[in-house]
Structure 1
Amino acid sequence: MAARRPQQTTSPKSPTFADLGVPGALIRVLAAAGVDRPFPIQAATLPDALAGRDVLGRGRTGSGKTYAFVLAVLTRLAAAAAPRRAGRPRALILAPTRELAAQIDAVMAPLARALSLRTMTVFGGVGAGPQIAGLRAGVDVVVACPGRLADLVEAGHARLDAVEITVLDEADHMADLGFLPTVRRLMERTPRGGQRLLFSATLDDGVDVLVRRFLTDPVEHSVDSKLSPVAAMTHHVLHVHAEDRFAVLVELTAAPGRTVVFTRTKRGAKILTRRLIEAGVSAVELHGNLAQAARTRNLRAFSDGDVRTLVATDIAARGTDVKDVALVVHADPPTEHKAYLHRSGRTARAGATGTVVTLMTDGQAPEVRELTRKAGIAATTTRLRPGDALLRTLAPGERTLVSPPALQPTSPRREAQGARGDGGRRGGEPSPRREAQAARSDGGRRGGEPSPTAATKSAPARSGAAAFSTRARPGGRRGRR
């Protein structure tokens, strides 16, 4: 389907949801959730989306894109009032990660119930049986990761010929993860005349291919620059000695409030979480080597406030919309600027303020300077040691350390034994081999969802100090890294 280049529009001043044509039933649900007026991306895109236009929405993470397309999809489906048919959803929302798919559905479900519409999620890492049953029972909106949905379509459990509206969320991230071949195959199974809504923070070449191929005369709404950082977000680079990194990190994470700490590798997230717990910081991990049930449980503990620190790989850089995250710490600086912006976007969401801290050693200085330059942010760089007064400014409040549970020493052999033991019959965290087998249900030959941290495996080795994936333990002979 040929498509002209999107026409650029300017965002209007924010009207009310009623002004935009959102039904009263949805407005009441929004009000109950504390959402009273549209964000700019919602005010800009809803009139065209509700009119049936193809829309290309561009805005930074945390700008309110989810409500922008969810309200459009549900309003149009309710107006059409078509019956549900087994295995043939009326709307399809594609997302790059399981966490993002689950959060989209969590936002959408109460709104859908108000209109007597049915939604469900489809992604890997969990059994396909309930998903097949849900499709067979009939559903209005499917929120899916590409790989598992492609498997169900090819097995005949789902057909996309009744899809009236297709949404691609975080399209640039899907391109980064290599999903585009699968996305194209799924899109080709939807009706040629269906409405398409594509939301992305950037318009890289891969996303542009989707726009040209599948969107017809789309209207583009950009609420900010593709590299625009959040105005209420302050950025700091802490220049530290390698042996001080962990002590500085403990000072930051022992403060009140929620903190997200990013590492470059899954093993790094696991080991750093263990070390923080041993130091008395309440923390949980989130990475691709965790079974889906463990990922969901840990994210819920962080969201509910049972723990204050989430240690994660880039799997959490998108799709973790947790309120009141006060601080983001790049314990390992990311490899490229887009990852920096998306990681940092876990704070200062929905108009709130937030602080972003990058820990940098001498050897990392050149790459961090280049990283912040490409990200278009002005960071304050400070050389400091543990106990510096700036740490209490960045993470204010009384430090609290709790008595850690009994943990076994983390030697390489014990670490491997622990992974095997957790992935056995007791249903804990799978071993890397077990996780790889599970990931093939989304990321096999059909080009489906790879491990969410697959991109980090090919990252070049960083100069300077080792990442937090080091095996060294605090107080050990190799230093406190």
Structure 2
Amino acid sequence: MNAKPPADPTSRPDSPGRSPAASFAELGLPAALLETMTGLGVTEPFPIQAAALPGALAGRDVLGRARTGSGKTLAFGLALLTRIADARAEAKRPRAVVLVPTRELAQQVGEALEPYARTLGVRLATVVGGVSINRQVAALRAGVEVLVATPGRLTDLVSRRDCFLNQVRITVLDEADQMCDLGFFPQVTELLAGIPDDGQRLLFSATLDRDVDRLVREHLHDPLHVSVDPAAGSAATMEHHVLTVHPADKYATATEIAARDGRVLMFLDTKAGVDQFTRHLRASGVRAAALHSGKSQPQRTHTLGRFKDGEITVLVATDVAARGLHVEALDLVVNVDPPADAKDYVHRGGRTARAGESGRVVTLVTPNQRRDVSRMMAEAGVRATVTPVRSGEATLTELTGAKRPPSGGTPQGNAPFRGMGTRPGRGGKETRKAAEARKAAEARAAARVRRGR
């Protein structure tokens, strides 16, 4: 389909001009690639792949709207690898660039495409911040056809003249909305300005508003529109639950959920809160680890590997794990702290029920949060089941698999977090009553010490 898109490029989905393919074999992919895909069990395309691949393989710009976990990495990746496999890249001059917002997503995209790149003899490298730039420079000097990059690190490499973009033929913007939300819009536009304008552009995003809309209008040419309804893709396989809890019982409840059999991903707002709750879980006998932007990239990679392998069963994270994290058979995501907005909720929840699997998203809500959470879920198009719970109750176990932690019981209320405010990691002013009680306890302890001398 070569018709000119409407004035508003986000106003409607378009089809590739043919019925969606029932198998990858119908799409005209190289035989060697099909053989590798079959060996990996990838035989039937997801809707976004069936819709996007024909146009992408034909060289058209593609504007894709799809929720996280819908299979869009292969929707752009298979076309990209097939189209640039015909020639080798010169030193420092990649032939294709995939821009992603986070280190974790860059790693995931690289890992997903690596076996197919190897089959076609395509050299692929990942460049992100937080790790040594020297190895990345060495890879570019040796020559890579496909470069998966975060905007900040790629900007650094370009400014150092360790990477040139003048021979890039295909550019992919993955999770474009989050790149803009994280403030990367100026860097992305600057990088696109250095890439030849006659190349192919593939943009994928969960939302197509504000700065994403500007990217579409300014950098895509007559794009093919493909869309996968975010709600339709997950409604049948994802359950949403709001568990109303008393503030004094919140972290005891979260601790029992963390002690369940099976893996769970738990989100908190702050790095300090993540670290403190993780320490508490470990002290309770739960195999937990923390993930947030304060960790080095090697630490983050190691932690994710341990979680995927099952060496740890609880990953406690900030929103750094809300995108770019794919774990097979992860059936429970818990918002210990409710997300700030509907978009964050969608992406946190998108870590479960991926690729047609089932999953459950649980949000712990105190009474003063109910109104804001209800509004946020309405904006996200989510209808959640609301259930009041308390730690130790059978209802909590039925919904989440919660049980007492291995070390001998759930703490009384929020004991490990007293004096920290309503959320761990957020300092709270000590009340006069609490200060008096603390001083009295200290005096009693001092008296006991004196008597024992």
With normalisation by structure 2, the TM-score equals 0.87
Equivalent-residue separation in structure 1 for 2:105 and 2:243 (angstroms): 31
- Aligned: 1:325 with 2:330: yes
- Aligned: 1:258 with 2:214: no
Consecutive unaligned residues in structure 1, runs of 5 or more: 413-464
Q: Which structure 2 residues correspond to residues 347-358 of structure 1 after superposition, within 5 A?
A: 347-358=352-363
Equivalent-residue separation in structure 2 for 1:402 and 1:275 (angstroms): 11
Equivalent-residue separation in structure 2 for 1:281 and 1:186 (angstroms): 44
State the Cα distance separating 1:326 from its structure 2 match. 1.1
Match of 2:339 in 1: 334
- Aligned: 1:38 with 2:62: no
Q: Which structure 2 residues correspond to residues 368-379 of structure 1 after superposition, within 5 A?
A: 368-379=373-384
Match of 1:25 in 2: 32
- Aligned: 1:467 with 2:428: no
Equivalent-residue separation in structure 2 for 1:226 and 1:10 (angstroms): 19
Contact (CA 8 Å) 2:105, 2:323: kept in 1 or not? yes
Q: Supply the AA of the counterpart residue of 2:27.
A: L
State the Cα distance separating 1:83 from its structure 2 match. 2.4
Match of 2:211 in 1: 206
- CA gap of 1:250–1:236, structure 2 versus 1, over 3 A, is same
State the Cα distance separating 1:33 from its structure 2 match. 2.1
Q: Supply the AA of the counterpart residue of 1:15.
A: A
Contact (CA 8 Å) 1:235, 1:355: kept in 2 or not? yes
- CA gap of 1:178–1:92, structure 2 versus 1, over 3 A, is same
Query: SS at 2:356's partner residue?
Result: coil
Equivalent-residue separation in structure 2 for 1:296 and 1:244 (angstroms): 33
Give deviations 1:358-382, integer Å, cap 9, x for gaps: 0011111111111111111111111
Contact (CA 8 Å) 2:92, 2:141: kept in 1 or not? yes
Contact (CA 8 Å) 1:39, 1:64: kept in 2 or not? yes
Match of 2:449 in 1: none
Give deviations 1:233-261, integer Å, cap 9, x for gaps: 10111111111111111221111121100
Match of 1:281 in 2: 286
State the Cα distance separating 1:230 from its structure 2 match. 3.9
Contact (CA 8 Å) 1:98, 1:123: kept in 2 or not? yes
Equivalent-residue separation in structure 1 for 2:245 and 2:33 (angstroms): 50
- Aligned: 1:383 with 2:388: yes
Equivalent-residue separation in structure 1 for 2:427 and 2:300 (angstroms): 23
Equivalent-residue separation in structure 2 for 1:24 and 1:393 (angstroms): 48
Match of 1:313 in 2: 318
Q: Which structure 2 residues correspond to residues 68-147 of structure 1 after superposition, within 5 A?
A: 68-78=75-85, 81-147=86-152
Contact (CA 8 Å) 2:396, 2:402: kept in 1 or not? no
Match of 2:397 in 1: 392
Match of 1:290 in 2: 295
- Aligned: 1:49 with 2:56: yes
Equivalent-residue separation in structure 2 for 1:397 and 1:411 (angstroms): 20
Q: Supply the AA of the counterpart residue of 1:41.
A: I
Query: SS at 1:310's partner residue?
Result: strand
Larger Rg belongs to:
2
- CA gap of 1:398–1:246, structure 2 versus 1, over 3 A, is closer
Match of 2:448 in 1: none
2:251 maps to which of 228, 235, 246: 246
Contact (CA 8 Å) 1:202, 1:226: kept in 2 or not? no
Match of 2:71 in 1: 64
Consecutive unaligned residues in structure 2, runs of 5 or more: 410-414, 429-433, 438-453
Larger RCO, structure (CA 8 Å, separation 6 or more)? 1
- CA gap of 1:97–1:227, structure 2 versus 1, over 3 A, is farther
Equivalent-residue separation in structure 2 for 1:100 and 1:65 (angstroms): 12
Q: Supply the AA of the counterpart residue of 1:16.
A: S
Give deviations 1:72-108, integer Å, cap 9, x for gaps: 1001112xx1222000000000000000001100011
Equivalent-residue separation in structure 1 for 2:253 and 2:230 (angstroms): 33
Contact (CA 8 Å) 1:46, 1:68: kept in 2 or not? yes
Query: SS at 1:320's partner residue?
Result: coil
Match of 2:160 in 1: 155
The size of the alignment, in residue pairs, is 417
Contact (CA 8 Å) 2:389, 2:396: kept in 1 or not? no
Identity of aligned residues (%): 49
Equivalent-residue separation in structure 1 for 2:416 and 2:250 (angstroms): 19
2:368 maps to which of 354, 363, 372: 363
